[in-house]
Amino acid sequence: MKKVFKIIGYTLVGILAIVAAGVIYMQYAFPNVDAAPAITIKKTPEMVVRGEYLANHVAVCIDCHSSRDWSLFAGPLKPGTHGQGGDRFDQTMGFPGVFYAKNITPDKETGIGSWTDGEIYRAITAGVNKDGDPIFPMMPYNAYSQMSEQDIYSIIAYLRTLKPIKNEVPKSDPDFPFNLILRTLPGAPNVKAEPVLNDQVSRGKYLVTVAACVDCHTPQESDEKMKFAGGAEFNLPFGTIRSANITPDKETGIGSWTEDAFVNRFKMHLDPEVANRKLEPTDFNSIMPWNMYAGMKEEDLKAIYQYLRTLEPQKNKVVKFTPAPAKS
């Protein structure tokens, strides 16, 4: 019997040794990304303007990296918080750990003021920070990596112009075993040369891609054909909201929408009465930053509409809101 226990003990020690070796390997072998490129961006006024447009109204980097006022519909940005980071995303919202949006202002101690242009470029396109640690893919770096190089440079040029804000953001803390899985996600960026945007549909596809619309408008754990069919769930204190079906299905999507109706759905949020609508804590709200997307150029919204019309219609009726149970 002693011999049996000894064999079991040796087996357990062997298993633990293999697991420990695997964990150590994951920690040091990943993320498997190249060093940050040695680039210096010569920013021009035109680049800063383009970067401001992309960061605020298309890729909406500033949305996640600022504080939002959730007492108003769609959580417009709080003045004076642009880029300071600090928003928390945790298990109560369905995340595998606790994650924080980082400070992306040029503050040298708590922001990205000490980062090189190449390190910012690598973060945007490959999903690792200055130290090479992985960034949770809520920042859709796989989508951002498909921007043209010039557009990425323009965003970096714009970020350098933000007002530095001293705001120390806590480190993210992914749960086990996702902390190991997370390290395997970053990879070589998929940066394109300047894309050929010679018609509305190609420009619309580019904008939809770099805006990562598919991430929110696709059901979790669905197959490829359900892209853009809506239904992704977001659990929030006031209830569960679900993304809209934006395929051209006439019954459950946007197939019956006119181009003007689509554009106006965004532009209506430029109206102060709409943008500043006060809510009760239990009212329906939207995490989609309508106020930021409302600043998109009309021709770009039209291009997005024309591209979405080319998608395969998917019948998927979405219940957009389920209120949280009343507290007893």
Whether the per-residue pLDDT at 266 is higher than 90: the answer is yes
| pLDDT given at position 85 | 97
Minimum mean pLDDT among 42-46, 71-75, 135-139, 188-192: which range? 188-192
Residues 244-259 pLDDT 10s = 999 999 999 999 999 9
State the average pLDDT over residues 82-96.
93
Residue 238: which residues within 8 A CB-CB, separation 6 or more?
Answer: 281, 282, 283, 284, 285, 323, 324
Distance separating alpha carbons of residues 129 and 182, to the nearest angstrom: 13
The pLDDT mean for the chain works out to 90
Determine how many CB atoms are found less than 10 A away from the CB of residue 127.
Answer: 25
Whether the per-residue pLDDT at 64 is higher than 70: the answer is yes
| pLDDT given at position 9 | 52
Minimum mean pLDDT among 2-11, 62-71, 233-242: which range? 2-11
Indicate the pLDDT class of residue 112, thresholds 50, 70 and 90: very high
Q: Look up residue 79 and give its amino acid.
A: P
| pLDDT given at position 19 | 44
Residues 22-39 pLDDT 10s = 445 445 455 788 899 999
Minimum mean pLDDT among 4-18, 24-38, 304-318: which range? 4-18
Nearest of 58, 65, 35, 75 to residue 285 by alpha carbon? 75
Nearest of 159, 174, 189, 197 to residue 54 by alpha carbon? 159
Could you tell me the strand order of the sheet in which 173-174 lies? 88-89, 97-100, 173-174
State the average pLDDT over residues 162-171.
97
| pLDDT given at position 290 | 97
Residues 275-307 pLDDT 10s = 889 998 888 899 999 999 999 999 999 999 999
Indicate the pLDDT class of residue 17, thresholds 50, 70 and 90: very low
- Residue 28, beta-bridge partner list: none
Vertex 218, ends 216 and 224: CA angle to 5°?
140
State the average pLDDT over residues 66-74.
94
